[in-house]
Amino acid sequence: MSFSPLFTDSPTPQDKDLATLSNYLDARTTHIDLDWAIDWEKKIIGGSATVTLEATKDVEEVVLDTSYLDVQGVAVDGSRAEYSLDERIAGMGSALHVTLPKGVKSGQHVAIKVSYWTTTQCTAVGWLEPVQTKSGKYPYLYSQSQAIHARSLLPCQDTPAIKATYAAKVRSVLPVLLSGLRQSPKSEEKWVPGKEVEYVYDQVSAWLLAPRPGGIQSHADADAHQPVAIPSYLIAIASGELVYRPFKQLEGRKWRSGAWTESKGIDLIKPRVLFDSPAPLMMDEAYWEFSEDTARFVAAAEDYTSEYRFGVYDILFLPESFPYGGMENACLTFATPTVIAHDRSSVDLAAHEIAHGNGLTEQSWFGNGIGCASWSHFWLNEGWTTYLERLVRLFTGHSIWLMGDADVDPVHAKDLRRARSSASNCHDVSYRVTTDIRDQVVHRRKGLKEDLALNKDKTRFQRMVVEYNPHEDPDEAYNQVPYEKGSNFLLHLERTVGGLDHFLPYMKDYDRTFSGTSITTGQWRSHLFHFFGNQPNGQEYLRALGKVDWDESHSATDIRGEVLTSKWLHGAGPDLCVDMQYDDTLSKPCADLAEKWNAARDDAQLSKFSPKDIESFITAQKLVFLDNLEAYAPYSPRAITTLDETYGIHKTDNAEIRLRFYRVALKSGKEYAEDAAEWVTNKGRMKFCRPIYRLLNQQTPELAKKTFLKHAAFYHPIARKMIAKDLGVEV
């Protein structure tokens, strides 16, 4: 059968990206050449960006996105050209209009070179002073461009609809990492202080400055080449005093993986007692946390989709100010250090970012390879990625917390072992949700419900397919809907067509069909019906899929005869579309303990609790316990103090645990406000800092605002903007 990736059914307003000022429908970027230098003193990056475009119609000008860029000059095909910058539009930036002296006919190419520098208002790059780094010796920078911040780093068509290759040469006095492919020199060649060297890369994750420099005065060039077309938001850079350690390479696999961290930290992995955990990040801790599973996750994702062809999958553990859990930059996932939990409880981050397909050539995975045509269809990135992440964890054994099949009900344990043995011959395990997947869904479902509640007055942000207004920043709508509603919808479709035996072949065909493209929900749905309609029992599949409620809410019957109530693509609401049923073997003790705490509303009852209550709990159970506690009415100050002291919560460095404890405490009173305020001053991940600042603002508004304004420079510009909005202050 055949299906055109360019096919689209009736266009909708969401098919055009309203968050770009560029004329990307008239001319499409095919390649970008970057020639950069990092000015550490001025905290700017500059040089030139040469954007090569192919006209899709006859054009007289090209319009590029920029934001806070200091444009020095423009050349078209090597000759100086006229240009103009529009007045800035809040959140969108300034359109850069470049006149094409001779015009460009449809199908022809044109190269536009823009000489420029970023400014201190750049929203993509976070700059850290030496005192904010582990060694305290050198500064550090990193970028985060999703959704529309790449335009503050380089002039471009800043939309996920456009994918282009890029090459970059970067001059810096500190090691540089890029989301590109390293070409030369060989990694064993030593860097000579004071000698300017040009580095050409086939992989960004390889050493850009082989042994680290002896002093910040020494310069080197770093060249990177990225032959896989990627959207602008995946152009990424990091620079600082970095060290690398490879993970063990799997036999029979063509790629390698490893970890990058700052060079300093505490060299200690100590046993965990209750909530206790070791001290700050360093390479040993990052390596211990992720080396066991990262390569296995890549291998499992290959088995479900297609070959991983980039040659390397590395993780860069960034400083604490990084605003997200992880970012799927090609070859090199950017990760928050808060995922180093010292018990491997957060390694699902690697599974999630791997599922994005961090850089494939002929084949691709979700988000990076098959992308959304506009931010309205972001669920196609994150819903598919979350779905694949959970499959990866299921078949690698991480879905049962490394505790063995004893945690799966006996009827399904045999089938789970059988399904793991051959991903190419998977049996229907979609109905056998193990305890880990169950509790992960519990955690995330709670977060989804909170995000939905926060958007109760903006119900369009509760929908999978978001209807944006012109010039509306997609950051405003960032929440768990595309992740949780999206992955749940795919699970619902999996069940509708009869399980993984039927759904995995479709997933592989979806990967093959749309590899390297950016699509809409309409294109995705058309392919879904096309694929199943061409199967031997196609009419049966189509009848089942036809009963799915795509736009409104009604009861539907799946292929097994089960009645399911759903509210999908354009539906708003306070919870998931389908009420899932899960095994509660591990979660029930957590709920029972929380219920006992809820019943203990006087000092005599509080004295009955002891550290033994949670001695057998693994980390995820502790999280479920705290989540259940939060669901009850506020507690007395004495109860919160007893909770903390009994279980040693204040001793833990596990950010997920501390977040949940502070949520319980701050909803109960002000007693832990100072402690929470101090904790959040070095937590740049928005999952942690935004809810804590919001709760502080409810309990002690003056403390919340004072704390944030004092430490605002610590946060990445994206987080800084969102926290300021939450608190109603200006920075």
Nearest in space to 314 (alpha carbons), one of 178, 416, 219, 442: 178
Phi, psi of 229 (to 5 degrees): -65, 130
Alpha-carbon span 272 to 611, nearest angstrom: 13
Q: Are 572 and 398 in contact (CB under 8 A)?
A: no
CA separation (Å) from 306 to 180, 361, 584?
Answer: 21, 10, 34
**Catalytic choice (241, 289, 353, 656):** 353
Which SS3 state, helix, strand or coil, does residue 339 take?
helix
The amino acid occupying position 598 is N
672 classed as catalytic? no
The answer to whether the CB of 440 falls within 8 A of the CB of 390 is: yes
Distance CA 379, CA 616 (A): 37
Tokens (6 digits) for 56:
């899709």
CA distance 198 to 367: 32
What distance, in Å, lies between the first and last C-alpha atoms of the chain?
A: 56
Residue 115 corresponds to which tokens in the numbers above?
Answer: 């000489």
Q: In what order do the strands lie in the sheet containing 176-178?
A: 125-128, 140-143, 237-239, 176-178
Q: What span, in angstroms and rounded, lies between the C-alpha atoms of 482 and 502? A: 24
Q: Can 241 be counted among the known catalytic residues?
A: no
**d(C-alpha 220, C-alpha 696), whole Å:** 46
- 626-to-451, 598, 632, 671 alpha-carbon distances in Å: 18, 12, 10, 18
Eight-class DSSP state of 255: -
For the chain, what's the residue count?
Answer: 731
Q: Which residues contact 163 (CB under 8 A, 6 or more apart)?
A: 229, 230, 231, 371, 516, 517, 518
Using alpha carbons, list the distances in angstroms from residue 503 to 431, 528, 618.
13, 10, 33
Alpha carbon of 621 to those of 436, 440, 650, 672: distances in Å?
9, 10, 18, 23
Compute CA distances 580 → 315, 430, 431, 453, 504, whole Å.
33, 12, 10, 20, 21
CA distance 161 to 406: 46
Rounded Cα gap, residues 139 and 683, in angstroms: 19
Residue with tokens 């405490």: 665
What is the identity of the amino acid at 575? D
Read off the amino acid at residue 80.
Answer: R
Catalytic residue among 140, 201, 308, 483: 483
Question: What CA–CA distance (Å, rounded) separates 231 from 139?
Answer: 28
The phi, psi pair for 619, rounded to 5°, reads -55, -45
Number of H helices, E strands in the chain: 19, 25
Q: Which residues are catalytic?
A: 353, 483
